[in-house]
A and B are shown apart, each in its own frame.
Chain A
Amino acid sequence: MGNVVLKDVSKTYGGTVNVLNDIDLQITAGELIVFVGPSGCGKSTLLRMIAGLEKITGGTLEIDGQRMNDVPPAQRGIAMVFQSYALYPHMTVRDNMAFALKLAKKSKEEINEAVEEAARKLQLTDYLDRLPKALSGGQRQRVAIGRSIVRDPKIYLFDEPLSNLDAALRVATRIEIARLKEEMPDRTMIYVTHDQVEAMTLADRIVVLANKGIAQVGSPLELYERPQNEMVATFIGSPAMNLLPGKITGTGAQTEISLDDGGKAVSHVQTEASDMGKTVNIGVRPEHLEATDGEGLFTGRVDITEALGEVTLLYFETVGTDPALIAKLPGVHKDRRGQKVTMTAAPEHVHVFHEGQSLLYR
Chain B
Amino acid sequence: MAPALQGLLTIVIGISVCVGYFFGSNLLLDMLFPPRGPKAGRNTNIANLIRPWLFLFPALFALGLYLMYPVVETLRLSLTDRIPGGGYQWTGLSNYTQMFQEPKFWEAMGNNLLWLLVVPGMATIFGLLAAQLTDRIAWGSIAKSIIFMPMAISFVGAAVIWKLVYDARPEGQDQIGILNALVVWFGGTPETWLTLPFWNNFFLMVVLIWIQSGFAMVILSAALRGIPEETVEAAIIDGANPMQIFFKIKVPQIRSTIMVVWTTITVIVLKIFDIVFAMTNGQWGTQVLANYMYDKLFIARDWGVGSASAIVIMVLVLPILVWNVRNARREMS
Are A and B subunits of one complex? Answer: yes
- Contact surface of A with B, Cβ cutoff 8 Å: 51-53, 72-75, 78-80, 82, 84-91, 99-100, 103-104, 147, 151
- Between A and B, 11 residue pairs with Cβ closer than 8 Å are A52-B237, A80-B234, A85-B230, A86-B230, A86-B233, A87-B231, A99-B238, A103-B239, A103-B244, A104-B239, A151-B238
Q: Which residue of B has the minimal Cβ distance to A51?
A: B237
Say yes or no: A103-B238 contact (C-beta < 8 A), given A82-B233, A86-B230, A87-B231.
yes
B218 at the interface (CB under 8 A from A): no
Among A53, A75, A79, A104, chain B packs the most CB atoms within 10 A around the CB of: A53
Given contacts A82-B230, A103-B244, contact A88 B235 (CB under 8 A): yes
Report B210-239 residues with CB < 8 Å from chain A CB: 228, 230-231, 233-239
Would you call A89 and B253 a contact (CB within 8 A)?
yes
Is A88 a contact partner of B236 (Cβ separation < 8 A)?
A: no
Shortest Cβ distance from residue B252 to the other chain A in the assembled complex, whole angstroms? 4
- CB B203 to nearest CB in A, in angstroms, measures 38
The answer to whether A73 and B244 touch across the interface, beta carbons within 8 angstroms, is no
Contact B240 A103 (CB under 8 A): yes
Check if B236 sits within 8 Å of A53, measured CB to CB. yes
CA of A79 to CA of B237, assembled, Å: 7
Complex-state Cα separation, A73 to B245, whole angstroms: 14
Interface residues on B, range: 10 to 19
How long is the Cα–Cα vector from A80 to B234 in the complex, in angstroms?
Answer: 7
A88 touches B249 (CB 8 A): yes
Closest A residue to B252 using CB positions:
A90
Find chain B residues with CB under 8 A from A91 CB: 252
Given contacts A53-B233, A90-B253, A90-B255, contact A84 B239 (CB under 8 A): no
8 shortest interchain CB distances as A-B pairs:
A74-B239, A86-B230, A100-B238, A90-B252, A86-B234, A103-B239, A73-B237, A82-B230
- Give CA–CA (A313, B248) in the complex, Å: 54
Q: What's the Cα separation between A87 and B235 when bound, in Å?
A: 9
- Nearest-Cβ distance from residue A255 to partner chain B, whole angstroms: 50
For A89, what are the chain B residues with a Cβ–Cβ distance below 8 Å?
Answer: 231, 253
Query: Whole-angstrom distance between the alpha carbons of A90 and B255 in the complex?
Result: 10
A88 partner residues in chain B, CB cutoff 8 A: 231, 234-235, 249, 252-253
Q: Which of A87, A99, A151 has its CB near the most chain B CB atoms (within 10 A)?
A: A99
If the complex has contacts A82-B230, A82-B233, are A100 and B239 also in contact, measured as CB distance less than 8 A?
Answer: yes
Q: Report the number of A-B residue pairs with Cβ-Cβ less than 8 Å.
A: 60
B329 CB to nearest A CB, Å = 18
Residues of A within 8 A of B231 (CB): 86-89
**In the bound complex, CA of A75 to CA of B249 (Å):** 20
- A78 pairs with B252, CB closer than 8 A: no
Report which B residues bind A (CB closer than 8 A). Answer: 228, 230-231, 233-240, 244, 248-249, 252-253, 255
Q: Nearest Cβ distance between residue A88 and chain B, in whole angstroms?
A: 6
Chain B residues contacting A103 (CB-CB under 8 Å) are 238-240, 244
Question: Inside 8 A of B238's CB, which chain A residues have their CB?
Answer: 74, 99-100, 103, 147, 151
Residues of chain B within 8 A (CB-CB) of A75 are 239
CB distance from B240 to the nearest CB of A (A): 6
A207 and B239 CA atoms in complex are apart in Å by: 29
B253 / chain A contacts, CB cutoff of 8 Å: 88-90
Q: How far is the CA of A73 from the CA of B232 in the complex (A)?
A: 12
Q: Which residues of A contact B239 (CB under 8 A)?
A: 74-75, 100, 103-104
| Cβ distance A294 to chain B, nearest Cβ, rounded Å | 58
Measured CA separation A87–B227 after assembly (Å): 12
CA–CA, A78 and B239, complex, Å: 11
- Considering only CB atoms, which chain A residue lies closest to B234 in the complex? A86
* Bound CA–CA A85/B230 (angstroms): 8
Chain A neighbourhood of B234, CB < 8 A: 80, 82, 86-88, 147
Q: In the assembled complex, which residues on chain B have CB atoms less than 8 Å from the CB atom of A52?
A: 236-237
Give A52 to B233 CA distance when docked, in angstroms: 10
Q: Is the CB of A86 within 8 A of B228?
A: yes
- The complex places the Cα of A89 from the Cα of B248 at a distance, in Å, of 11
* Shortest CB distance B256–A (Å): 10
CB distance from B131 to the nearest CB of A (A): 18
Chain B residue at minimal CB-CB distance from A80: B237
A99 to B247 alpha-carbon distance, docked (Å): 13
Q: Tell me which of B228, B238, B248, B255 has the highest count of chain A C-beta atoms within 10 A of its own C-beta.
A: B238
Residues of B within 8 Å of A104, CB to CB, are: 239
Contacts of B252 in A (CB 8 A): 88, 90-91
Q: How far is the CB of B312 from chain A (nearest CB, A)?
A: 37
Rounded to whole angstroms, the CA-CA distance of A90 and B248 in the bound complex is 9
Bound Cα distance from A99 to B238, whole angstroms? 7
| Chain B residues positioned under 8 Å from A73 (CB to CB) | 236-237
Residues on B with C-beta less than 8 A from A79 are 237
Q: A88-B231, A103-B244 are in contact. Are A78 and B237 (CB under 8 A)?
A: yes
Q: Given A52-B237, A80-B234, A88-B231, list of 18 further CB < 8 A pairs?
A: A53-B236, A73-B236, A74-B238, A74-B240, A80-B233, A82-B233, A82-B234, A85-B230, A86-B231, A86-B233, A88-B252, A90-B252, A90-B255, A99-B248, A100-B238, A103-B239, A104-B239, A147-B234
A99 to B239, CA, bound (A): 9
Nearest A residue (CB) for B255? A90
The smallest beta-carbon distance between A84 and chain B, in angstroms, is 5
The docked-state distance in angstroms from the alpha carbon of A91 to that of B248 is 10
Q: How long is the Cα–Cα vector from A82 to B240 in the complex, in angstroms?
A: 17
Closest to B249 in A: A88
Whether B255 contacts A74 by the Cβ 8 Å rule is: no
In Å, the complex CA distance between A213 and B239 comes to 31
Please give me the residue from chain A that is nearest to B229 by CB atom: A86
Task: Name the CB-closest residue of A to B232.
Answer: A86
Q: Give the docked Cα–Cα distance between A103 and B239 (Å).
A: 7
Set of chain B residues within 8 Å of A53, measured between Cβ atoms: 233, 236-237
How far in angstroms is the closest Cβ of chain B from A150?
10
What is the CA–CA distance of A84 and B235 in the complex, to the nearest angstrom?
Answer: 14
Complex formed: what's the CA distance from A294 to B238 in Å? 65
> With the chains together, A91 CA to B249 CA distance in Å?
9
Q: How far is the CA of A91 from the CA of B231 in the complex (A)?
A: 12
Bound-state CA distance A84–B227 (Å) is 13
